[in-house]
A and B are shown apart, each in its own frame.
Chain A
Amino acid sequence: MEKKKKSKVIKEKKPINKATLVLSIVAGIITLLLVASIFLQFRTVNESRELDIENMRDDELRTQIASYKSKYEETMEQYTANQNTINEYETAINENKETTELLDQEIEQSKTLLGLTNVKGSGVIVTLTDTDESLYTYVSDDLLLLLNELKYAGAEAISINDNRIINLADIVTLNDGLIILYGDVRLTSPYVVKAIGDPTYLMSTLSIKNSGYIDQMKANGMAIEVKQDNNIEIGAYTREIDSKYLQEVQ
């Protein structure tokens, strides 16, 4: 590009001719456009490198787009809810009103999200049964995978055999084959897993051909039954959630 500038300068020393002037202006504009486009191109390449989307296949890109879309929607929803609460607090402050009620509402909301309240709603019920025809018996990994699939499909509340599953719930299989939840709750077949969320989305995620949970289990000869239900009730987690080591960051 420097070369171009130099030649322009040299040119201008000569007596200016109209045609030459037009030509160099046109050339200048073209150059500008091309430089800009190359610059843009370089930037796009850099940006895509940042996300490492260069090596992604179409289906991966679509999955990522869908995931960002739903994240955007959920975030906006929460943002709007927060703004409403902020407004309510501000009104209460301005009018010198009690805010205990507002605080109670916030506490109730957090407790619900933690799993400390009874909830109901639409969703799916998955029943896993050990049968004589099964190639093996269900183990904790099968349950953990199912929880992960349900969460991926947007489940808001989950229980296994009427035990509410909270964040960081642990399920292990002991050497003798026993499946233990929360370190001391024994789970036995049939494993009835209830999940509240969008029933269609939950169902379709589990039903994806071949790689979906249902087909994966069936490929192993396991018995699995899934049905949608518009009135699922899930009980609260009734114990204390440990928080001996958690401290606030100042």
Chain B
Amino acid sequence: MKNKSACISIGIICVVLATAMTIQIRTMQKENSAVSQAFANSELKDSLLEWKEKSDNAEDNLEKSIARLEEVRKASTSNDNSSAEKQEELKKYNQLLGITDVQGEGIVITVTDSAQDNTAMDLNNLIVHDSDLRSLVNELANAGAEAISINDERIVSTTAITCAGNVILINGNKVGSPFEIKAIGNQESLYGAITRAGGYAYALKARSVQVDAKKSNNVEIAKYTGALTQKYMGNNN
């Protein structure tokens, strides 16, 4: 039989491939019991990955254009005093808008889902919800925070903190426990707001959610990487 060796090699290949596929499918099943559903919506997933990539690329381009804008702005006004003042003014506004990186004294708070595995307790109480994050942001703002971020998502004027199913979205991006909340402002009053009896963080701790606050002389908060647009509002002087 001339073809014997070929047949044998094909046979071996088949065995190897079948084994690999079986292992693969079994791994996936172990990982995710909803595997059949995962196949069903694979088109949606492809679409999601595609849009995420597009959006990430656009953000990269935006970042480059911001850097370039700063360059030409500087270059165009290098020998003009009133312009230098105006540039400072613009810089200040952009810091407040959240579209530049900032630093200063403040606090860093880490909020983590409860480690308790006590089924007697309501599971809803043990995890951190979008409403919890909103309340903490409000409390920090009340204590005079000038810039806040959660897991590096800068809180800007258009920021919504929402949940979609079991994920929390900030600025449209997914965030999860542990949540690192950074705030710049007077560190004593920020720390006081988070540690005071009767405060929101106090209520979180009562639910056995872990809240850990640390004062810092230098908190760095990254800028908002999305766009702030003005499509519907016009000036009304």
Contacts and interface: CB of A to CB of B under 8 A. Distances in A.
Most buried by A among B82, B91, B138: B138
A121 B233 contact: yes
A169 B52 CA distance: 31
Given A168-B146, A243-B95, A61 B236 contact: no
B48 A68 contact: yes
A72 B137 CA distance: 26
A144 B134 contact: yes
Most buried by B among A30, A75, A197: A75
A114 B235 contact: no
Nearest to A90: B72
A113 B2 contact: no
B184 interface: yes
A219 interface: no
A157 B236 CA distance: 13
A157 B45 CA distance: 34
Given A8-B9, A79-B61, A109-B230, A245 B100 contact: no
Interface of A is mostly: helix
Contacts of A246: 95-96, 102, 104, 146-147, 184
Interface string B53-79: 011001101100110110011011100
B231 A156 contact: yes
A171 B51 CA distance: 36
Contact of A4 (B16, B102, B138, B162): B16
B38 A20 contact: no
Contact of B83 (A10, A34, A100): A100
Contacts of B185: 245
Contacts of A135: none
Contacts of A17: 2
A3 to B, nearest CB: 5
Contacts of A204: none
A112 B231 CA distance: 12
Given A100-B82, A249-B101, A24 B6 contact: yes
A34 B156 CA distance: 48
Contact of B91 (A114, A170, A248): A248
Interface string B180-215: 000011100000000000000000000000000000
Interface in B1-26: 2-3, 5-6, 8-10, 12-13, 16-17, 20-21, 24
Contact of B32 (A55, A110, A120): A55
Given A60-B164, A89-B73, A118-B237, A55 B44 contact: no
A13 B5 CA distance: 12
A103 B77 contact: yes
B21 A24 contact: no
A67 B170 CA distance: 11
Contact of A247 (B32, B44, B102): B102
19 contacts: A3-B13, A19-B6, A20-B5, A31-B17, A34-B17, A51-B52, A58-B41, A61-B47, A68-B51, A79-B65, A83-B65, A86-B69, A99-B83, A103-B87, A112-B233, A144-B138, A148-B161, A242-B146, A246-B96
